[in-house]
Amino acid sequence: MTAALRGLLHAPPPVVAVGATVLADALAEQAVPHVRVDWRPPPAGTEDALARLAADPRRASANAEAVRRMLAAGATLVDVRPAADLVDLAPGQFCHAGPPLDWSAASGPMRGALIGAMLLEGLADSPDDAQAQLARGRLHNGRPIELFPCHEKGGVGPMAGVVSPSMWAWELRDETHGTAAWCTLNEGLGKVLRYGAYAPEVIDRLRWMAAVLGPALAGGVRAAGPLDVKALVGQMVQMGDEGHNRNRAGTLLLLRDLLPSIVESLPAADAARVARFVGGNDHFFLNLVMAAGKLQSLAVGSIPGSTVVTVMARNGTEFGIQTAGTGGQWFTGPAGVADGLYLGAYGPRDANPDIGDSAITETIGLGGFSMATAPAIVRFVGGTVRDAWATTNRMYEITLAENPAYALPVLDFRGAPTAIDTTLVVRTGILPQINTGIAGRVAGTGQVGAGLVTPPLRCFVAALESLAARAPDG
């Protein structure tokens, strides 16, 4: 008899209660020591798809390749340019966050941001005029108004994610895979276009960003030379930023690296205003984290047989995901409303459903997935420090890798949980944790709070079924 078996017979039997809590509750009442394991069966109807994918001989190597590419992706800031150039947008063409959307399905903040973009581009005289043209789908000059998901134009946009030709954007490159991605410049918090506000102050700020800030940053980047954004993200996660709702350290590191060159190339008054604008906006670096995330997603691209999630994005109405095994196909479900803390007198009734491409941060292991590294954020989105650790630990259960480039000090430098596996999400019922800003649901409001939200499970079930349908017959 082995020592282990002897122990089993000579000691009281250990009890492990898996899933339903009836047994565990009864044991607790009888003071019997036991271990609870959280488990629930996969949703009814997914068993066949899960079995089919488990048997797919391509899956292990396809997922390994997806992980390899996601972790190998670089992110270098190479330029700052107007979207007219960088995204190849013409007047009347706009990008937006999340999966495809038309005006009739657009939520308040998405409509507000589109109205603001029409005003910024000089395509409308008033918000009412802008709204009328958007609803009709045509500009006064008869040209069609076209809406594209940022993700389908090679970039990402926070919150409404509306991009129009005169907005400037960061241009990042992944030299490992030879790809590029963009993201707009961050406007700050409160009444800003990306939260659906379009008051004159919002448009004036965007005009200054196009006239002064964008060219100043472009000059700084060109003079300073390419900037390793991946390395900066690696540093920020050691400084209490999780890269979605907290970007303070990242913003300061960017300022440190760009400002000397900006100072040398700009009139002093402009350089000082740029320094104050960037330094006064703790979220300025978010847009660079997002572009770096988009590069990790692009690096994976399409890999037949891989169940890795490559995109999670919301348009304010629907939540959409993409996977490596299904390429550019969207799997959508209704966007939820974040649970969190509200600014001033705002409350849950003022909240729009979840919105923005910023969930690209969670898609690649930052944001809610790396909450453990940012205890200061828990006060901003509600919750405790222990909740933050538990969240990150839970995300390791649905991911395939740990990213050594984004090492979380508080977890003994364990890498951020990276590469969400569709089958693990469905099998465990553990949904990706996103921490996010909350937009007011009425167009023109702006930000009303920040909190925690998860995608609808149905996105993952739909992706799972599509992946299973593509699996070879066993």
Residues at the interface with its own copies (CB under 8 A): 238-240, 248-249, 252-253, 255-257, 259-261, 263-264, 268-269, 271-273, 275-276, 279, 375-376, 379, 384-386, 409-410, 412-413
Task: Please say which residue, 96 or 246, places its beta carbon nearer to its own copies.
Answer: 246
Task: Identify whether the C-beta of residue 236 lies closer than 8 Å to the C-beta of residue 284.
Answer: no
What's the closest the beta carbon of residue 239 comes to its own copies, in angstroms?
A: 5
Task: Please say which residue, 169 or 411, places its beta carbon nearer to its own copies.
Answer: 411
What's the closest the beta carbon of residue 28 comes to its own copies, in angstroms?
A: 18
R_g (Cα) of the chain, nearest Å: 23
Run of H or E including 438 = strand 434-439
Residue 443 in 3-state DSSP?
Answer: coil
What's the closest the beta carbon of residue 241 comes to its own copies, in angstroms?
A: 8
Task: Please say which residue, 6 or 386, places its beta carbon nearer to its own copies.
Answer: 386
Task: Please say which residue, 143 or 379, places its beta carbon nearer to its own copies.
Answer: 379
What's the closest the beta carbon of residue 388 comes to its own copies, in angstroms?
A: 9
Nearest CA among 217, 371, 374, 234 for reference residue 292: 234
Q: How far is CA 360 from CA 52, 225, 255, 272, 286, in A?
A: 28, 26, 23, 32, 11
**Bridge pairing between strands 168-174 and 155-156:** unpaired
Q: Which residue has tokens 């060219």? A: 215
What's the closest the beta carbon of residue 168 comes to its own copies, in angstroms?
A: 21
What's the closest the beta carbon of residue 248 comes to its own copies, in angstroms?
A: 7
Task: Please say which residue, 215 or 356, places its beta carbon nearer to its own copies.
Answer: 215
Task: Identify whether the C-beta of residue 112 lies closer than 8 Å to the C-beta of residue 119.
Answer: no
**Cα 464 versus chain centre, distance:** 21
**Cα 412 versus chain centre, distance:** 25
What's the closest the beta carbon of residue 207 comes to its own copies, in angstroms?
A: 21
Distance CA 329, CA 364 (A): 19
What's the closest the beta carbon of residue 38 comes to its own copies, in angstroms?
A: 24
Tell me the backbone φ, ψ of residue 172, rounded to 5 degrees: -115, 150
Beta-carbon neighbour count of residue 241 at 10 Å? 29
218 Cβ contact partners less than 8 Å away, ≥ 6 residues apart: 79, 80, 81, 168
What's the closest the beta carbon of residue 414 comes to its own copies, in angstroms?
A: 10
The identity of residue 318, as a single letter, is: E
Task: Please say which residue, 6 or 138, places its beta carbon nearer to its own copies.
Answer: 6
Helices (H) and strands (E) in the chain, counts: 18, 18
Residue 317 in 3-state DSSP?
Answer: coil
Tell me the backbone φ, ψ of residue 439, rounded to 5 degrees: -90, 150
Task: Please say which residue, 174 or 257, places its beta carbon nearer to its own copies.
Answer: 257
Q: How far is CA 288 from CA 76, 84, 247, in A?
A: 10, 19, 10
Task: Please say which residue, 279 or 472, places its beta carbon nearer to its own copies.
Answer: 279
Task: Please say which residue, 37 or 268, places its beta carbon nearer to its own copies.
Answer: 268
What's the closest the beta carbon of residue 216 comes to its own copies, in angstroms?
A: 12
If you write DSSP's letter for every residue of 21-72 in order, what string do you get?
SHHHHHHHHTT---EEE---PPPTT-HHHHHHHHT-TTHHHHHHHHHHHHHH
Cα angle at 319 between 316 and 320, to 5 degrees?
A: 130
What's the closest the beta carbon of residue 452 comes to its own copies, in angstroms?
A: 18
What's the closest the beta carbon of residue 268 comes to its own copies, in angstroms?
A: 5
Task: Please say which residue, 29 or 412, places its beta carbon nearer to its own copies.
Answer: 412
Mark residue 126 as left, alpha or beta (left: phi above 0; alpha: psi -120 to 50; beta: remaining). Answer: beta
Task: Please say which residue, 257 or 357, places its beta carbon nearer to its own copies.
Answer: 257
Residue 424 in 3-state DSSP?
Answer: helix
Task: Please say which residue, 259 or 312, places its beta carbon nearer to its own copies.
Answer: 259
